[in-house]
Amino acid sequence: MGGVQTPATLDFNEAEYQRINTWLRNRSGMIFLDNKKESLMLRMDKVRETYLLPDLNALATALEKGQNADLETAVIHAASTNHTYFFRELSVLNYFQASILPELPITNVRIWSAAASTGDEAYSIAMIAAQTRGLDWAKKQLAILGTDISELVIAHAEKGIYGGLHVDKTPPEYLDYGFDPVGMNQYRVKQQFQQMCTFRRLNLKNTPYPFKRPFHVVFCRNVLYYFDRAQQTEVIEAIYNVTEPGGWLITSVTMSLRGLQTRWQPVEVGVYRKPL
């Protein structure tokens, strides 16, 4: 029967899956459970098509050879779930505003959004801090670094234009405060907030981190679950080493550090602190 082909299914063999999965694990520490196999391989197949490779076997070989940086970037981008939005997990952001911000120094506050994706988190933090401590203060005293393994999301973050799901959950007062409307349901982050944020590519697996000055607060949300427990420990301990004494680590509310060998002290759901 010449049936209709369902785009959501794909023929691949276990060996191809294992090779690509192993490469992703070694390169970025991303772990894919077997129930995500099909969806991962569909995304890999799109990359294969773009790079005109005959099959997924050829894709695996190209990755293993390590001679095509563009292809590697495309694979990492396709594999990582970049889903993020402004004002995500408000409970943690409210805690940041009410309990952490008042404790931060008056000058030279440094915040890191590790695994920043398209920058929504970094800009949300900038807007909350400016709203709370005053725009003049934030312009002079606040620096936010957003990093991600994917260059494509970093490029989006630098542009600072968003629509749809990115801004759907933004409280209306912040939509006015933080953005200029541009075109159809698109919003550009106001220049003053863009100036507080810098975006760079960084693989969290490459420890120790290359920062000269430690951070007061590090947001590391919705990324640790890509890593196995040993890698999670390595990442949060490397973050600890680039955090000021008395500084904070904010993980996602669904990501507990319980059971990991770490020096971070739990404070609240999803909030940890380095002792003074």
Query: Which residue ranges make up the site for ligand SAM (CB under 6 A)?
Result: 28-30, 80-84, 88, 115, 117, 121, 148-150, 153, 203-205, 221-223, 226
Indicate left, alpha or beta for 40 from its phi (over 0: left) and psi (-120 to 50: alpha).
alpha
Q: Is residue 93 within a helix (H) or strand (E), and if so which, with residue range? A: helix 90-95
Four-residue CA torsion sign, 99, 224, 119, 144? positive
- Other CB atoms within 10 Å distance of the CB of residue 183: 9
Shorter beta-carbon distance to ligand SAM: residue 29 or 247: 29
Q: Which is nearer to ligand SAM, 141 or 199 (CB)?
A: 199
Of 175, 97, 170, 171, nearest to 138 by C-alpha is: 97
* Pick 88 or 273: Cβ nearer ligand SAM: 88
Q: At closest approach, how far in Å is the CB of 225 from ligand SAM?
A: 9
Half-sphere exposure of 58 (CA within 13 A, CB side): 10
CB-wise, 141 or 194, nearer to ligand SAM?
Answer: 194
Shorter beta-carbon distance to ligand SAM: residue 17 or 112: 112
Cβ atoms of 229 and 237 within 8 Å: the answer is no
What's the closest the beta carbon of residue 223 comes to ligand SAM, in angstroms?
A: 4
Nearest approach, Cβ of residue 208 and ligand SAM (Å): 14
Smallest gap from residue 53 Cβ to ligand SAM (A): 22
User: In angstroms, what is the minimal distance from the CB of 85 to ligand SAM?
Assistant: 7
